[in-house]
Amino acid sequence: MWFRSAALLAAGIAALLAATPARASTCTNTYIGHSAGVDGNNTASWSRHRLPGPSDHVCFTQLMTLTMTGGAFKFRSITGLAALKLVDARLELTDPDDPTVLRRLLIASTGPCMTVLAGAATVIVDEFFVWGRDGAMSGSGQTVLGPGARSLIDPGPWRSVYLLGRRLVNAGQVTWADGSIRTTGQIVNQGLFEANSETGALMGYRREMGIPLGESFSWLGASNCGWTGAPVEV
């Protein structure tokens, strides 16, 4: 089945995007290494000769694809990426006044732990978003799927994705192909949302894992998930 939002809300996404600050961040640590197939954990690849940390606005200059696997990362924002792939990792973006804009975003797990996009920042996806098995989006920020974005929600049969205290705004086209969406957050649909999953449901998180409806979520198993620093590939 498919559904569109009511006409009464048609201007909502435009207002929301207009209210989202669009200023360019002041880069505090810029990637200066090779453009492909390299390890971002090399301090020589960064303008400050140290790895980016929680106080940094991280910048890339060549519209690269960044793959983050198996670690925990915290920055104020990221600028200049074409694509971001989060796999078995946790990324927190904290600056609510500095959106991170991506062409493509992947959030999915291959192991026993959630992959998490967290924080107070806005993340805007312009072209393509894939939300896979045990992928979670949490925190007080929002993920905005732009008018030209096509998105796939597919955690697999009887598996789940998680929207935990965060807002998901869709102005493009989303296909929910399989599995469940478990949420304490808010889904605002201003585009096309095709719900085709026959092996799951949209559930308000109330008793599962002891999370009250509407309460934010933190993954307590981080110490067992290898989230202590891990490969970053650009």
Q: Rounded to whole angstroms, how far apart are CA atoms 23 and 73?
A: 23
- The pTM for the full model equals 0.80
Q: Say if residue 211's pLDDT is above 50.
A: no
SS3 208: helix
Q: What percent of the chain has pLDDT over 70?
A: 73
In this prediction, residue 113 has a pLDDT band, given cuts at 50, 70 and 90, of confident
Cβ-based burial of 51 (10 A; exposed 0-12, middle 13-18, buried ≥19): middle
Q: Within the chain, how many helices (H) and strands (E) appear? A: 1, 20
Q: What is the DSSP letter of 6?
A: -
Q: Looking at the DSSP assignment, which residues form a beta bridge with residue 168?
A: 143, 187
Q: Rounded to whole angstroms, how far apart are CA atoms 201 and 27?
A: 42
Q: Say if residue 215's pLDDT is above 90.
A: no
Per-residue pLDDT at 19:
44
Domain boundaries, the chain: 2-217
Tell me which residue of 192, 111, 108 sits closest to 145, measured CA to CA: 192
Q: Rounded to whole angstroms, how far apart are CA atoms 234 and 222?
A: 24
Q: Looking at the DSSP assignment, which residues form a beta bridge with residue 209?
A: none
pLDDT, tens digit (0-9, with 9 covering 90-100), for 41-74: 889 999 999 999 999 999 998 888 999 988 899 9
| Mean pLDDT, residues 164-183 taken together | 94
Q: What is the DSSP letter of 63?
A: E
Angle, alpha carbons 18-90-73 (nearest 5°): 85
SS3 48: coil
- CA distances (Å), origin 150, targets 105, 126, 171: 11, 8, 9
Number of neighbouring beta carbons within 10 Å of residue 39: 12
CA gyration radius for the chain?
17
